[in-house]
């Protein structure tokens, strides 16, 4: 016997997660969406996992392009998370990427320049997760910025920040 989706949602809201924007491009079109279902899988080879609802443009494009980028957002980027999650309604013809600084990763995926860190991935495997696609990406390039910003965290249906402690000598 299973629980209903609302029970699951009400329980999992207490699991804090980082906030990322997953992106892809076929050279002419680009797509991106906010994703909290992201995790490191393996260091050798370097693999990460993202889970994306099946009925999305981003998921379809990842299947076509066989690549994706993961940009890890920092505490001052909740606006970008809202923009790529659809919480901010865009004007007709407006692109989610408008006004967002983007660079092209080594593998060809767009990544957010101002993110705290990003990974550029080649699709390694795809699995069926009922309502979601489980994409495993092999990391072909990564970059992180030296910054005092903490990562953006989602917990209990709201954005949070971590209180960073000064390094101990």
In a domain, 120, yes or no: yes
In a domain, 167, yes or no: no
The model's confidence at residue 90, banded by pLDDT at 50, 70 and 90, is confident
The CATH number of residue 78's host domain is 2.30.110.10
Tokens 């991935």, residue located: 121
Condensed to tens digits (0 to 9), the pLDDT of residues 136-156 reads: 999 999 999 888 889 999 999
Identify the pLDDT of residue 77.
96
SS (H, E, C) the chain: CCCCHHHHHHHHCCCCEECEEEEEECCCCEEEEEECCEEEEECCCCEEEEEEECCCHHHHHHHHHCEEEEEECECCCHHHHHHHHCCCCCCCCCCCCCCCCEEECCCCCEEECCCCEEEEEEEEEEEEECCEEEEEEEEEEEEECCCCCCEEEEECCEEEECCCCCCCC
In a domain, 77, yes or no: yes
In a domain, 12, yes or no: yes
Question: Mean per-residue pLDDT for 7-28?
Answer: 93
Please give the tally of structural domains in the chain: 1
In a domain, 100, yes or no: yes
* pTM (predicted TM-score): 0.93
| Segments forming the whole domain that contains residue 144 | 5-161
């Amino acid at each position: 016997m299973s629980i209903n989706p609302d029970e699951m949602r009400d329980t999992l809201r207490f699991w804090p997660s980082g906030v990322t924007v997953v992106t892809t491009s076929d050279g002419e079109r680009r797509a991106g969406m906010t994703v909290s279902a992201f995790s490191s899988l393996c260091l050798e080879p370097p693999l990460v996992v993202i889970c994306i609802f099946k009925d999305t443009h981003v998921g379809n494009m990842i299947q076509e392009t066989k690549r994706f980028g993961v940009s890890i957002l920092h505490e001052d980027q909740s606006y970008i998370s809202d923009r790529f999650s659809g919480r901010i309604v865009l004007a007709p013809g407006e692109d989610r990427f408008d006004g967002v600084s983007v660079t092209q990763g080594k593998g060809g995926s767009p990544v957010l320049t101002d993110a705290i860190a990003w990974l550029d991935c080649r699709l390694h495997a795809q699995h069926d997760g009922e309502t979601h696609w489980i994409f495993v990406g092999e990391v072909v390039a990564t970059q992180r910025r030296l910054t005092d910003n903490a990562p953006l965290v989602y917990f209990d249906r709201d954005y949070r920040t971590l209180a960073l402690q000064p390094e101990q000598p």
